[in-house]
């Protein structure tokens, strides 16, 4: 038996050696064969090879080609220079980049016709693309800053539409046409006719010895989500760059609060990059339906979400900027309100659609017509008002001195008032950005258990300022109901669910009756800034 196993093992080893020898021979043979093929390359005849030829395409040009050829000459490259005001020197591409929001549907801030100018300016100073040294200066050297953007001609005499942030703070502006020679020359000198920061639009002009090619303005209201669009501009200084996409959405507001009241953008996935700002967004008829303005990005480049100011807004602004005053005049009735109120506020105050007035500007049009804080505006000239955006659109489009009929609710009763429209800039000329201040003192409150806040009696000084009795918030527990509603120490609660809370006993009495599932709405004032009026906040108690 042992001898049998030995013989079998010997045979298996012999078979393995034979197989290994065969594989080795095959590899060596293949190597020699390959070497032989490569060695014969120069000796191989190509007499039977046919040379390649370019075939003329019979595919007809598409609409994108036609639009690019027809409209491209009216698109311009804009270069600006800013004289030294800082020690830093750089070249930048103009545009606006917005970081992707964590919660784009919740602005968490009040909305009105007045404050927020500082935040508004910061918003428009966010250029996408970052800061890049000029090719001729490295990290230092010349202290002149250069910027790049786009624009398009709308009048053969040289009037051009672009973004305000393209020309903002520029000391020199140059425009280069598509027909101008591609040289080191920056282009033709241009001057600013007028700007409108509320919509980030500007009109500039160059001198023209002959009529210039122009673009026509389309009707952005007729645009539908899914429509094809084409963008032309100078991304990264690459002039006459064409990209295409569709309308992804309409009526996008990307900046909360007063800064976004007049910005309701078309959203597109057509590639928009640094330098595209101020260029046109065209429909398939070759008409301008928007001015490319901003992108959402996490990388300072294109990520498929761009925004264009609708052409209907652009036309209205342009017509005002070329008027003798060179400014946009918007109507106002002199009120402030907070957008995005919770459903609990609507239920407690008894309305579904409308605008709850937070503050009436003293001496303003609404004040003279008899409106008060807490009124709910429901209609303008008989047309229902859905929300604050609708009210702003209605009133801002009216000329100062004209009259509107406002329908409003006061304590559940329908009222009417005739209001004379004022100039928005003049009505709110004395308002600026304000923030609530903190009161460090502390005291206990029965509201701690149910609402998560502690209150104390209002001081005589605060009562004199507000002319309305209330209780002062001393502390707010993190994560509590009060915290989730945005209440902060230092604010004064004057009412809860429309019930007065003029002192601590009244406040405790109202709070004791609250139970899980109840809507709770606070009327809150800031004693440090009583001119801001009442703010309404609330939600459903969980």
The domains located in the chain, with CATH, are 61-99+111-328 (2.40.10.120), 331-427 (2.30.42.10), 447-540 (2.30.42.10)
165 is catalytic: yes
Residue 192 is encoded by which pair of tokens?
A: 């600013």
What's the whole-number mean pLDDT along residues 89-109?
41
Separation between Cα atoms, residue 29 and residue 37, nearest integer Å: 12
Cα dihedral across residues 106, 108, 114, 115: positive or negative: negative
- How many CB atoms within 10 Å of residue 115? 20
Task: Tell me if residue 526 is catalytic.
Answer: no
Residue 538: is its pLDDT beyond 80?
Answer: yes
Look at residue 444 and tell me whether its pLDDT is greater than 60.
Answer: no
Whether the pLDDT of residue 68 is over 50: the answer is yes
Alpha helices (H) along 334-473: 343-349, 365-368, 388-396, 424-427, 447-451, 460-466
- Tokens, residue 495: 């009412």
| Confidence grade of residue 447 (pLDDT, cut at 50, 70, 90) | confident
From 113, 164, 165, 259, active-site residue: 165
For a pLDDT cut of 90, what percent of the chain falls above it?
38
* Alpha-carbon dihedral angle through residues 338, 343, 347, 349, given to the nearest 10 degrees: -10
* Ramachandran quadrant class, 460 (left: phi over 0; alpha: psi -120 to 50; beta: rest): alpha
In the predicted model, what is the mean pLDDT of the chain? 78
The pLDDT of residue 284: 94
Q: What is the mean pLDDT of residues 245-265?
A: 81
Q: Residue 539 and residue 169: Cα distance in Å, rounded?
A: 44
Catalytic residue among 277, 311, 379, 445: 277
**Is residue 316 very low, low, confident or very high in pLDDT (cuts 50, 70, 90)?**
very high
Q: Radius of gyration (Cα) for the chain, nearest Å?
A: 34
**Angle at 305 (CA atoms; ends 299, 307), nearest 5 degrees:** 115
Tell me what pLDDT residue 367 has.
Answer: 92
What is the phi/psi pair of residue 96, to 5°?
-125, 130
Tell which residue, 438, 437, 465, 470, has the closest CA to residue 455. 470
The mean-pLDDT minimum among 31-35, 465-469, 475-479, 518-522 falls in: 31-35
Q: Which of 113, 115, 200, 283 is catalytic?
A: 200
Cα distance between the two ends of the chain:
86
What local confidence, expressed as pLDDT, does residue 11 receive?
A: 53
């Amino acid at each position: 038996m042992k001898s049998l196993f030995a013989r079998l093992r010997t045979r298996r080893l012999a078979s393995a050696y034979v197989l290994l020898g065969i594989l080795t021979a095959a590899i060596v043979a293949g190597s020699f064969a390959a070497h032989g093929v490569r060695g014969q390359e120069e000796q191989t005849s190509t007499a039977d090879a046919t040379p390649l030829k370019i075939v003329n395409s019979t595919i007809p040009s598409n609409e994108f080609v036609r639009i690019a050829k027809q409209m491209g000459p009216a698109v311009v490259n804009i270069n600006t220079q800013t004289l030294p005001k800082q020690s830093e020197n750089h070249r930048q591409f103009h545009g606006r980049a917005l970081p992707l929001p964590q919660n784009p549907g919740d602005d968490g801030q009040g909305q009105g016709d007045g404050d927020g100018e500082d935040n508004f300016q910061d918003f428009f100073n966010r250029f996408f693309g970052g800061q890049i040294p000029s090719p001729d200066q490295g990290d230092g050297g010349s202290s002149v800053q250069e910027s790049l953007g786009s624009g398009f001609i709308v009048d053969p005499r040289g009037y051009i539409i672009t973004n305000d942030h393209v020309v903002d703070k520029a000391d020199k502006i140059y425009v280069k046409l598509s027909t101008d020679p591609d040289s080191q020359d920056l282009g033709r000198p241009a001057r600013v006719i007028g700007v409108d920061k509320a919509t980030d639009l500007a009109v500039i002009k160059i001198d023209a010895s002959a009529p210039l090619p122009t673009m026509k303005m389309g009707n952005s209201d007729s645009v539908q989500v899914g429509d094809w669009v084409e963008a032309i501009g100078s991304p990264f200084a690459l002039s006459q760059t064409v990209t295409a996409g569709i309308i992804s959405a309409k009526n996008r507001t990307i900046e909360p609060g007063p800064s976004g009241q007049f910005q309701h953008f078309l959203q597109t996935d057509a590639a928009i990059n640094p330098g595209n700002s101020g260029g046109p967004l065209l429909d398939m008829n070759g008409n301008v339906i928007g001015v490319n303005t901003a992108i959402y990005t996490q990388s300072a480049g294109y990520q498929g979400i761009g925004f264009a100011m609708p052409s209907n807004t652009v036309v209205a602004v342009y017509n005002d900027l070329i008027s003798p005053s060179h400014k946009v005049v918007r109507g106002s009735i002199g009120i402030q309100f907070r957008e995005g109120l919770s459903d609990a506020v609507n239920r407690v105050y008894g309305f579904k659609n409308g605008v709850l007035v937070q503050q009436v500007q003293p001496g303003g049009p609404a004040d003279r017509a008899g409106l008060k804080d807490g009124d709910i505006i429901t209609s303008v000239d008989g047309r229902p008002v859905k929300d604050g955006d609708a009210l702003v659109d209605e009133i801002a489009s009216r000329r100062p001195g004209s009259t509107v009929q406002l329908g409003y609710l006061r304590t559940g009763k329908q009222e009417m008032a005739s209001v004379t429209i004022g100039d928005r800039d003049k009505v709110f000329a004395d308002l600026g950005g304000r923030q609530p201040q903190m009161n460090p003192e502390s005291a206990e409150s029965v509201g701690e258990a149910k609402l998560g806040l502690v209150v104390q009696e209002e001081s005589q000084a605060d009562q004199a300022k507000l002319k309305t009795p209330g209780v002062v918030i001393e502390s707010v527990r993190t994560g509590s109901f009060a915290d989730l509603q945005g209440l902060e120490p230092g604010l004064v609660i004057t009412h809860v669910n429309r019930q007065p809370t003029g002192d601590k006993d009244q406040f405790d009495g109202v709070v004791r009756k609250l139970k899980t599932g109840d809507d709770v709405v606070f009327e809150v004032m800031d004693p440090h800034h009583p001119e801001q009026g009442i703010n309404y906040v609330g939600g459903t108690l969980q």
